[in-house]
Each structure stands twice: as C-alpha cells, then as structure tokens.
Amino acid sequence: MSLVDLRSDTVTRPTPSMRRAMAEAEVGDDVYREDPTVNRLQARAAEIFDREAGLFVPSGSMGNHAAIKVHTHHGQEVICEERSHIYNYEMATMAAVSGCLARTVRGEDGILGWDDIAPALRAMTAERAGTGLISLENTCNIAGGAVTPVELAERVCDEAHARGVPVHLDGARIFNAATALGCTVGDLTRKFDSVMFCLSKGLGAPVGSVLVGSKEFIESARRVRKMLGGGMRQVGILAAAGLIALEESPARLPEDHENAQVLARGLAEIPGIRLDPAKVRTNIVIFDVQETGIESFEIARRLKEKDILANGISPATMRMVTHRDVDRAGCQRALQVMEGILAGERTRTAVAQ
C-alpha cells in the first residue's frame, strides 16, 4: 500500500506537465535578468497580486527574510505572532542577519488584529528600540491554517501606515486563505507593503517562492537575495514548474480543504483527541493528543509503521496537512490507522490497571 504523507504540503512531487515544462524551459542567466521564464513568472505573479514587480526566491524563508531586511535596520523590533514561521522556523535570521528583535504577540487562533498589535508598538525613545516592521501570516500555519479576514488585515495596514510602520505578509499559503474566503489573493493583500507566497506548498511546485511589491522594494530585495546567496543562474527550469503551479493549482485547493475536513471530523470522534473541526478552514489540521496518554512523537512513530506520515509539533499536538498527493481514500486510511493505534492503547492501559 502506498505511503500517505500528511507531514506537509511541501512533499508533493512535480506533475508530468511540470516536468515537461521544466525540460523545455527557455533559460538565461537570471543574475543578468536574462532568464525569460523567470521574468515571465515574476511578471505573472505581480499581475495576479496587482503589484509593480515580483522576485523569484529559492525558499519562503529567503523571501520573508529579504523583506525583513529591506523594511528594517539594525536594532529595530519586528512585531509578529508568537507561533509565526518567521519567529520559530527561520533560524533566527531576523536577529542573525537583520539585527532585529522579535516582539511577539499572541493572537487568538494565530490571527493578529490591530488591538493585539497596538500595545506592542514602540516608538524609539531614549531607551526603547522602535518598531521597524509588523509581519502577519495568512494562513497561520501552527495555529491550524487559520484565515485572517480581509477587513482585519486592512485595518492593521491602515493603522500601521498612519504611524509610518510597514507591514509584510508571510503569505506562504495565501492561496489557501483566498480559497477559504472566496476572494482573490489581490483582495486579501492589497494594503501590505510586501507579500511572500510559496509555489512549493499547496500549489505543488518542486521549489520556490515569490516576493511581490513595489518596483523599488523589489530592486532592494533583489540585492538582499544576492547577499544571501540566492542569485541563481539558468533557473527558468524551476520557474517553469512554478508558472504551472501558479496558473493551474489554485483551482484545485478546495479539494485539499475538503480532505482536511474529512480528517478533522474523523479525528474529533476518536476518544482522547481534541479539536474543533469548525476551526479547520484550509488544509492544515492541528489536534491535541494529550488525553490519549501517548506523546505525539510516539503516535507519529506508530503511524509510520503503518505507512502514514504525520508530524508531532509539540508533545501534546500533532499536525496533518492535505495536498495534491493525498486523496480522500488516503485520509480515510489515516483515520482508520489512528483509531486502531489509540484503541489498542486504551485496551493495553485498561488491562494494565
């Protein structure tokens, strides 16, 4: 039986049409801006997001980091949610490279509104570093793929701009957010100063992310990309797959969201697992396993013995992510295996008592 890989939506393999496009891609040296396929991808991304320019970057982390570096200078603070990717999963780059201090705030379901942010905002004084940037994440990964509504994000941008503070969006899964809200990614991101989105997550490309913003911002980000070692050469072979992902994949995201619902509803019925399926609106299912009596990492190990892959994100919580390479039947099999493992554990502990 084939593996059901629910660890992340990064695990998808390129489709046959992506591989064909990669093989046939027209290329040139992108550091000289001469790769026609990269140029097409960047222009198309800018158009879709209604921006002046785009920049292809090797990873979402590099895209986020280029934005942070351009928007801030050393000794400033960056306000972000305490579960955010830029704070937890990017090797402390904002400190190591940009010399910034993360000022974390907790938002309900990972979503930050202006009322959460305002108390954390700092003007530079004799003893306080000023806020250089606010960064939001939509969808919020570790908060279970939660979606930030348009009005909430726009208010954050308006209030921040009124105080001269730029706002970046880590939109790794912004197409999932737009799918959940039934709007366009342009509608969702218009007021942000910069947006990073991933081609290599739900959109299914093998590699790459894109940063979009004003021409001036992208020119600066291009220099930071080079500084970080991300200036690539005949990289049209990757951009070719990215273009297909960008054009074709958003339309199939509802399927991933439906599969995540199947997982969420099934998991919620298993004794010991806690989650609210109504909160699962995109392709990420995060659930609490504390009452099962087994740590998440051990559950993941037992699932793996039965060819189901999922990640523990803390001893008490697990994450399952749906994507193009898992289908409904795979999700149902994951539920059956999970049920079996936890039922076995209940019997074992009942006998032991």
Ligand X SMILES: *Cc1c(COP(=O)(O)O)cnc(C)c1O
CB of 142 or CB of 294, closer to ligand X? 142
The end-to-end CA distance of the chain, in Å, is 36
Three-state secondary structure of 132-180: EEEEEECCECCCCCECCCHHHHHHHHHHHHHCCCCEEEECCCHHHHHHH
Residue from 156, 195, 198, 299 touching ligand X (CB under 6 A): that is 198
State the minimum distance, in angstroms, from the CB of residue 319 to ligand X. 11
CB of 145 or CB of 236, closer to ligand X? 145
CB of 292 or CB of 317, closer to ligand X? 317
State the minimum distance, in angstroms, from the CB of residue 61 to ligand X. 3
State the minimum distance, in angstroms, from the CB of residue 137 to ligand X. 5
Instruction: Look at residues 198, 212, 247, 171 and name the one whose alpha carbon lies nearest to residue 52.
Output: 212
Q: Is 287 in a helix, a strand, or coil?
A: strand
Query: Site map for ligand X, 1-40, x if CB under 6 A?
Result: ----------------------------------------
State the minimum distance, in angstroms, from the CB of residue 332 to ligand X. 26
Residue 319 binds ligand X, judged by CB under 6 A: no
CB of 113 or CB of 145, closer to ligand X? 145
Residue 141 binds ligand X, judged by CB under 6 A: yes
Q: Are 291 and 311 in contact (CB under 8 A)?
A: no
CB of 59 or CB of 220, closer to ligand X? 59
Helix, strand, coil in percent for the chain, rounding step 5: 45, 15, 35
State the minimum distance, in angstroms, from the CB of residue 152 to ligand X. 17
Amino acid identity of residue 337, one-letter, is V
Query: Site map for ligand X, 37-66, x if CB under 6 A?
Result: ----------------------xxx--x--
Q: For residue 207, count other CB atoms closer than 10 A to its CB.
A: 17
The interface with ligand X within residues 204-223 (CB under 6 A) comprises 209
State the minimum distance, in angstroms, from the CB of residue 201 to ligand X. 6
State the minimum distance, in angstroms, from the CB of residue 171 to ligand X. 8
CB of 292 or CB of 322, closer to ligand X? 322
Residue 172 binds ligand X, judged by CB under 6 A: yes
Beta strand 4-5 with 308-309 is: parallel
Residue position matching structure tokens 């046939």: 24
State the minimum distance, in angstroms, from the CB of residue 311 to ligand X. 12
Residue 137 binds ligand X, judged by CB under 6 A: yes
In the sheet that holds 167-170, the strands lie side by side as 53-57, 209-213, 194-198, 167-170, 131-137, 77-81, 101-105
Instruction: Look at residues 210, 204, 169 and name the one whose alpha carbon lies nearest to residue 56.
Output: 210
Spatial separation of the C-alpha atoms in residues 189 and 174, rounded to whole Å: 9
Which residue's CB atom is positioned nearest to ligand X? 60
Instruction: Look at residues 76, 54, 336, 98 and name the one whose alpha carbon lies nearest to residue 209.
Output: 54
Kindly list the residues in this chain that would bind ligand X in the complex (CB under 6 A): 59-61, 64, 85, 137, 141, 170, 172, 198, 201, 209
